[in-house]
Amino acid sequence: MAVYDLCIVGAGMIGSAAARHASLVQNRTVCLIGPSEPESRSLDNDRDIYGAYYDEGRITRCCDPVVDWAKLAQESIKRYRAIEEQSGINFYHEVGNLSIGSGTDSQYVKSNENAAKSCGVPYNCLNDKVLSSRWPYLELPPDANAILESHNAGFINPRKLVAAQKLLASRQGCTIVDDVVRKVNRIVQSDGVYVMRIETDSGKVFHAKSVLLATGAFTRFREVLPSNVAVEQKISALTVALVEVDVTGGDKALRDLPCILYKGRRHSQWYIPDVLKNEEEIQFYMLPPIKYPNGKYYIKLGFINPNCQQIHTRDEMKQWYAEGDPKYKEDIAKFLKSLFKGIHFKSWYGDNCAITDTPSIRPYIDKVHDQLGVVFGCNGYAAKSSDEIGRLGATMMLTGWNSDIPEDVFRINYCTNSKL
């Protein structure tokens, strides 16, 4: 019976990164098991496991008010260009990032500025006059101010990042299996040695000395954790809208738009979705025009919504990925359009995703026992930091903890009914 040194379950941004780093370790055999992107997410499809990387754009930046997230991002961004060069797949677009708040006393802007200073991140402070001069087509509050990260910030293409990570992992000897893992458990061999048994939906069985779960929001929907273990986390349903623009014709000015993060008071001209009308502050993220596989350019926007739907069952998750909330998608598209002046918008569509939120607002990078580790619970911040999170998970399982950030920061919070 062949036994891998490490099997990584989940082939998204974190799992594929873990596979690349693990397969760099000498004299260790590595396996990555996870499904590729499905052609359809309809309710009629048998598939009920998806990924968070099915998109063309995710914001990346060095600065973050939570210093641990800033460090994870900085370490990942350092390696972007090397991954591109080695794989031949370009996924990083350094277009910059604007963190915008309202009012000269904006705590959001101040917290980002303080984080930039503490992390040594270059930035520029921009007041309302500069903002309106550089991006005159944006409809911002009259007292808006921001910090701009021009370097080591912008967006990554998550689909291409996963492809690059998997390509390099494969070149380095990692076995990649396109399948969904149904069950993970620890068994005893005839020689008395404990190994991990991994069973897939297609009936394949693999064995490994250790397993790393990079299973994201779908962890609870398969038997991958021990039956006596319940991890404290909640699954939040996310909605985005993508609106088509013409950056090759009349709206060429949009080519200079950076990524935007906003937290502050609403503008009187903005269209506010019903679910957010009682919120004093509006918080959203927006990406510049990005070319999608259909050849069209879209601006994407999503809200940080404290009232977003929570998902509890596999059926709820499948329903969400297949259909989402049509009214909310339309509301977000209307809001996005209201952020601009003089721009001609064309078609639009909405999309759905899900994230896992943890009490610490940090990922779980920890061992359940000496042969089972986890890297999930990333609170929606994983994309930009996925390479470093994957590296930490891989080294944790194969060579030991290797980071200036203490292990305790990423410990699992277990539910009170867990029996460890």
- Rounded to an integer, the average pLDDT of 306-326 is 91
pLDDT recorded at residue 29:
98
Condensed to tens digits (0 to 9), the pLDDT of residues 286-302 reads 999 999 999 999 999 99
**Which of 144, 106, 377, 336 shows the shortest CA–CA distance to 244?**
336
DSSP percent split of the chain into helix, strand, coil, nearest 5:
30, 30, 40
Stretch among 33-47, 56-70, 358-372 having the lowest mean pLDDT: 33-47
- Rounded to an integer, the average pLDDT of 195-204 is 97
Condensed to tens digits (0 to 9), the pLDDT of residues 81-138 reads 999 999 999 999 999 999 999 998 899 999 999 988 988 899 999 999 999 999 999 9
Condensed to tens digits (0 to 9), the pLDDT of residues 342-382 reads 999 999 999 999 999 999 999 999 999 999 999 999 999 99
The answer to whether residues 196 and 186 touch, using CB atoms and an 8 Å cutoff, is yes
pLDDT recorded at residue 46:
81
The answer to whether residues 99 and 112 touch, using CB atoms and an 8 Å cutoff, is yes
Percent of the chain with pLDDT over 70: 98
Stretch among 42-46, 233-237, 383-387 having the lowest mean pLDDT: 42-46
| SS3 (DSSP) at 134 | helix
Most confident option among 68-72, 208-212, 343-347: 208-212
**More confident call, 193 vs 347:** 347
| CA 371 to the chain's CA centroid | 26
Handedness of CA 387, 389, 392, 397 (dihedral sign): negative
pLDDT recorded at residue 313:
93
* pLDDT beyond 80 at 282: yes
pLDDT recorded at residue 367:
98
- Rounded to an integer, the average pLDDT of 193-207 is 96
Q: Look up the pTM and report it.
A: 0.96
| CA 288 to the chain's CA centroid | 17
* pLDDT beyond 80 at 419: no
Condensed to tens digits (0 to 9), the pLDDT of residues 158-172 reads 999 999 999 999 999
* pLDDT beyond 80 at 420: no
* pLDDT beyond 90 at 416: no
Mean pLDDT of all residues belonging to the chain: 94
What CATH class does 97-150+234-357 carry?
alpha beta
What CATH class does 6-54+158-231+362-410 carry?
alpha beta
Sequence spans of domains, the chain: 6-54+158-231+362-410, 97-150+234-357
